[in-house]
Amino acid sequence: MQWRGNEPSKRAESFTLPKLDEQADDAYNTYEGRALYYNATGRTVDAMSGLVFRKTMTVKVPDEMKPWLDNIALSDETLTGFAETSLYETLCVGRGGINGRYASFSG
């Protein structure tokens, strides 16, 4: 996963370094230039994801379903990739959801 680093955060319009009361523009620009963006949240999410997927997943499915593991969401995404994306969303937002609707078949 990719997180914005120091420079992209400073270039963002909503950079969260407030201007001090009665601070001149050039003083603020110097102050902003010295600021460091330490991405603790991004590092934590990456570390937690790495811990979960450190080992290869063990999956037990019937033989008829094994081909689905390489295209689990019908979007050329493997089961592992789908699980990583789902975990990432859950860690970042605090919740996640998977809508599983497949047409029924007989046979």
Sequence spans of domains, the chain:
6-38, 49-98
The 3-state DSSP class for residue 7 equals helix
pLDDT bin (cut points 50, 70, 90) of residue 1 is very low
The pTM assigned to this predicted structure is 0.62
Please state, rounded to an integer, the average pLDDT across all residues of the chain: 83
What pLDDT is recorded for position 4?
53
pLDDT bin (cut points 50, 70, 90) of residue 10 is low
pLDDT bin (cut points 50, 70, 90) of residue 74 is confident
Nearest to 83 by CA among 101, 93, 96, 94: 96
The 3-state DSSP class for residue 38 equals coil
**Cβ partners under 8 Å of residue 91, min gap 6:** 45, 48, 49
Does the pLDDT of residue 8 top 70, yes or no?
A: no
